[in-house]
Amino acid sequence: MSTQTDTISGWNREQMAKRAALDIPNGSYVNLGIGIPEKVAQYVPAGREVIYHTENGLLGMGIAPEPGQEDPELINAGKKPVTVIPGAAYFHHADSFAMIRGQHIDICVLGAMQVAENGDLANWSTGAPDAIPAVGGAMDLVAGVKTIYVITQHCTKSGEPKLVDTCSYPLTGQAVVSRIYTDLAVIDVTPEGFMVAELAPGIDFDHVQARTGAKLIPGQMLASVVNG
């Protein structure tokens, strides 16, 4: 995570997760992807009750077990040991994906390789000819969950923009992403394109635009600053 962009300023991984967590309403059924998205659960504001789904077959996933308390038959979609909360339920894979594909899960937070300004998401393959293709449940999640949030560094390690006009990598789904949380900004996918809803402290609009592969639109809360 030592990109040039990061060293200038912006949110770190924990702060990105914390910012995303603010947008998880009370009572939501939520599926969190592997990596930074997993951290969102730690930061959901106090006073909200959220139920976590893991697609291998559990609703009501709890926190990681204490060391020594791991059960190899109680794991999450990342194959890590988890616990269950009171009121949890186990079910088989078809029922679990019916929750996803039948639009019963409210929010899914995922990582991304690229997001296009129309909401296209690429997060499963670079399309490199020697790569072993592996997709897991990513395509089911983006096609089926009501709201898709992405948490990602704004640029790749080599400084390439991940928010682009058109994805060059193979898609996971078309026009599926609603909002993106990066180290630099919170950006909504709108019919007009990427709209910047918030900037990380110390980051200005032009700084983000310079690191984005598509035109950014200032959101309402930013408009006065940018235009005024």
Partner 1 sequence: MTMIDKRIDSVTAVVADIFDGATVMVGGFGEAGSPIELIHALIDSGAKNLTVVNNNTGSGHVGLAALIENKQVGKMICSFPRTANSTVFPDLYRAGEIELELVPQGTLAERIRAGGSGVPAFYTATSVGTPLAEGKELRNFGGRDYVMEFGLKADFALIKCERADRYGNLVYNKTARNFGPIMAMAANITIAQTGAQVEVGAIDPEMVVTPGIFVDRIVTVAYPAQESKLVAAGRSYP
Site for partner 1, rule CB under 8 A: 26-27, 29, 46-49, 51, 53-60, 71-76, 79, 84, 86-94, 96-105, 120, 125, 127, 130, 132-140, 143-144, 170-174
Active-site hit among 14, 38, 49, 55: 55
8 A C-beta contact, residue 150 and residue 109: yes
Min. distance of Cβ 50 from partner 1 in angstroms?
9
Q: Between residues 58 and 203, which has the closer beta carbon with respect to partner 1? A: 58
Min. distance of Cβ 96 from partner 1 in angstroms?
7
Q: Between residues 27 and 159, which has the closer beta carbon with respect to partner 1? A: 27
Q: Between residues 38 and 120, which has the closer beta carbon with respect to partner 1? A: 120
Q: Give the three-class secondary structure for 227.
A: helix
CA dist., res. 85 & res. 173, Å (int): 32
Min. distance of Cβ 47 from partner 1 in angstroms?
5
Q: Tell me the two tokens of residue 8.
A: 């200038």
Annotation says 55 is catalytic: yes
Question: Which helix (H) or strand (E) element contains residue 178?
Answer: strand 177-181
Q: Between residues 58 and 180, which has the closer beta carbon with respect to partner 1? A: 58
8 A C-beta contact, residue 58 and residue 84: yes
CA-atom Rg of the chain in angstroms: 18
Min. distance of Cβ 159 from partner 1 in angstroms?
27
CA dihedral over 183, 184, 186, 191, signed as positive or negative? negative
* Bridge partner list, 75: 81
CA dist., res. 220 & res. 217, Å (int): 9
Q: Tell me the two tokens of residue 11.
A: 């949110």
Q: Annotated active-site positions, please?
A: 55
